Copies of this chain bind each other. A is one copy, B any other.
Amino acid sequence: MLKGIPPILSPDLLKILRAMGHGDEIAIVDANYPAESAGPRLVRLDGQSATDVLDAILGLMPLDSYVEHAAFCMQVVGEPDRVEPIMEEFSSIISHHETGFDLGSIERFAFYDRVRSAYAIVQTGETRLYGNVLLKKGVISPDDK
């Protein structure tokens, strides 16, 4: 364990977050997501909720302000506009860490495709359906420090 680093950020996940650059994407997915066959390198956090993982990651990683949306959830099949409670939690956590970022949404199979070219996936133990969120990393400019 380290001072000031949330302990659910495992060694591999910390390395990945640090190694990602401007525009690289990371997906936080639920326990039913086909993550092992999705393509990108995989970090398992079995037993953690997706919302706790999102909160820990955004404590360290900036979002990309060069694009319209830097965070996306997966749309409910057949009801693209439906907002599940877990999606509202995702939005609220994002607002808590960064200002000016809305949560976008992507149709189920388009979400799978986009994740295929992400930098990494974190498979959580989230049991709520649609507990998936994709993040695009931003820049830290010399003024930020």
Contacts and interface: CB of A to CB of B under 8 A. Distances in A.
Question: How many subunits of this chain does the assembly comprise?
Answer: 10
Contacts of A21: 32-37
A10 interface: yes
A2 B144 CA distance: 11
Contacts of A59: 3
Nearest to A59: B3
A60 B35 CA distance: 19
Interface stretch (A43-51, A88-96, A99-107): A43-51
A69 to B, nearest CB: 18
Contacts of A45: 46-47
Contacts of A76: none
A110 interface: no
B119 A3 contact: no
